[in-house]
Structure 1
Amino acid sequence: MRLTAEWPEHRPAVFGVAYRLLGSVADAEDVVQDVWLRASSADLSAVVDLRAWLVTVAARRSYDVLKSARVQRENYVGPWLPEPLLTGPDAAEPVLVDESVTTAMLLVMEALSPPERVAFVLHDVFGISFDRIAEVLGGSVPAARKLASRARRRVVEARESAPTAPRAERERLLVAFRAAYQTGDLAGLVELMHPDAVYTTDGGGEVFAARKLIHGGLRIAEVLLRVGRQWSLSGIDIVEVGGEPALVAYRDGRVHSVDTVEITDGRISAYRRQLNPRKLRAVTFARP
């Protein structure tokens, strides 16, 4: 059967488009299951490009979920951060990795309207034609082009305002940050933080977390150390999340938080901590 033979090759793309659109590993897995069921019952004999067909079906389903999720996000408790996606050697299965799966870029896309996000991800990331995109969105090809162009402009603006630091620099800063954090070195942490840094935590109302952004390197360092002393962590590991190094903290043998950063001028300018246990289920198999 064609689908059975080619599914392992195309599944990463199906999952990839769903995750980029929804920012949720759990929701993306549900979409993958839906696409498999839809494809299993469909006549694929006339389908020339199976990958494009599967990706389009995944996008259409994700678009429906995304529109309803926007309403849920309005009632979300505290700041929203995407669900961490393990990549690299820690990933449970092959994952398509590029800049569009980083926490920073997913937050940029979260600010787009659902149609803009679909048009951008399908065209700029997966190379899907605008006629297919128009079918997904229920509009015209010119409208789909305009949506993708508008989204692309905002993505470029975000890249220019916060250029991605080299991987080696990110790893060096995270190693230094972990050492200062574990030893309670306030001065060391402040030195690593940008003076205008912003700290975001996502507890989703499930666990205690700051419901407002915290600004300033000194203030953030003080909060991190104070909270860290209360948690009594059992360890911190550096793991690849969304194609970038991230900090995974453990408590009582379980993943307690996943922290990602942005770097500006050699310092951490954005520190983002995922605490929502519902969003940490996919990283429970990370190395202890």
Structure 2
Amino acid sequence: MGDGRMPGPSHQDELLAAAWETHRPAVFGVAYRLLASVADAEDVTQDVWLRAAGADLRDVRDLRAWLVTVAARRSYDILRSARLRRETYVGPWLPEPLLTGPDAAEPVLVDESVGSAMLLIMEELSPPERVAFVLHDVFGLEFARIADVLSVSVPGARQLASRARRRVARAKQSVPQAPRAERERVLATFRAAYEAGDLAGLIRLLHPDAVFVTDGGGEVSAARKPIFGGERVAEVMVRLVRQRRPDRIQVVEVGGEPALLFRREGRVHSVDTAQITDGLITTYRRVLNPRKLPHV
């Protein structure tokens, strides 16, 4: 149809099924960026599909924007309740790992906003700021749609996005990330030193003020507070590898960045990412919570 509207009901199901394959990565992508949870993002994606399949879309001119808006509205509801759950979370909280690249089970829209560092930055935003930032700066939705999701005025939505953008920019400047090739090189060297239990080698790779953050969620043994200092972190890592030697350490891509996947006794034990600046690891993050690993 020349006006861009969806055709009549007799053709809608067939068209929607075909269009869904194109737009599903965007639907999942907005939910994951807002919730930092693969499981929650998959639930939202399923909800959006059911809503779309049961809706009359003949007057929808931009199906992608409609689907993303529905996903954002559902995610916003979950995000507000998730903030309360974070307050009772045991130990440090880290985003649920999202496999991307050749290891991904399905196509994922990848940019810096799915990286663990960026998701942690966005975690510091208020829910309305996060929604406005993701919908406008990542997905390019107009402020009228964003205002509708957040139940604010259009100027209010614009202000939320602007405030979030400034906060994100300041945070990114304070934690610069090395180019991908450098991150891959440092992680490969780290992997070799870790497997060998090479204390001196690990110390050389860790910044003197490095931080080691482990997310066990109270489900498994893990430090409930970050560990500070390069030498201290290296000592802890050497002790861990001696106590719980992994069967295999695999290089994977998580959230568009190189990561290490640890297997023990045939199962995924942890997924690790690192903040790397000037050839040194400044922050090392390890997700151990088994509830966050089934999708890896």
TM-score (norm 2): 0.95
In the TM superposition, structure 1's runs of 4+ consecutive aligned residues that sit over 4 Å from their partners are none
Q: Is it true that 1:120 corresponds to 2:133 in the alignment?
A: yes
Q: Distance in 1 between matches of 2:132 and 2:238?
A: 42
RMSD over aligned CA atoms reads 0.6
Cα displacement string for residues 182-235 of structure 1 (whole angstroms, at most 9, x for unaligned residues): 111100000000011111100001001100011110000111111121112101
1:220 corresponds to: 233
1:53 corresponds to: 66
3-state SS of 1:143 partner: helix
Which aligned pairs between 1:15-26 and structure 2 lie closer than 5 A?
15-26=28-39
Q: Distance in 2 between matches of 1:203 and 1:162?
A: 24
1:70 corresponds to: 83
Q: Distance in 2 between matches of 1:166 and 1:122?
A: 26
1:3 corresponds to: 16
Which aligned pairs between 1:112-261 and structure 2 lie closer than 5 A?
112-261=125-274
Q: Distance in 2 between matches of 1:39 and 1:164?
A: 39
Cα displacement string for residues 142-193 of structure 1 (whole angstroms, at most 9, x for unaligned residues): 1111111111011111221122211110111011001111111100000000
Residue 27 of structure 1, aligned match among 35, 40, 44:
40
**How many angstroms does 1:86 deviate by?**
0.2
3-state SS of 1:281 partner: coil
1:97 corresponds to: 110
**How many angstroms does 1:266 deviate by?**
1.4
3-state SS of 2:220 partner: coil
Q: Distance in 1 between matches of 2:76 and 2:186?
A: 37
**How many angstroms does 1:141 deviate by?**
0.7
2:285 corresponds to: 272
2:50 corresponds to: 37
Show structure 1 runs of 5+ residues with no match. Answer: 284-288
Q: Is it true that 1:86 corresponds to 2:113 in the alignment?
A: no
Q: Distance in 2 between matches of 1:78 and 1:129?
A: 38
* Structure 1 letter corresponding to 2:123: E
* Structure 2 letter corresponding to 1:263: I
* Structure 1 letter corresponding to 2:120: L
Percent identity over paired residues: 74
Show structure 2 runs of 5+ residues with no match. Answer: 1-13
Cα displacement string for residues 81-123 of structure 1 (whole angstroms, at most 9, x for unaligned residues): 0000000000001000000000000000011100000000000
TM-score (norm 1): 0.97
Q: Distance in 1 between matches of 2:164 and 2:274?
A: 23
Q: Distance in 1 between matches of 2:50 and 2:252?
A: 33
1:286 corresponds to: none
3-state SS of 1:30 partner: helix
3-state SS of 2:295 partner: helix
**How many angstroms does 1:2 deviate by?**
2.1
3-state SS of 1:62 partner: helix
Larger radius of gyration: 2
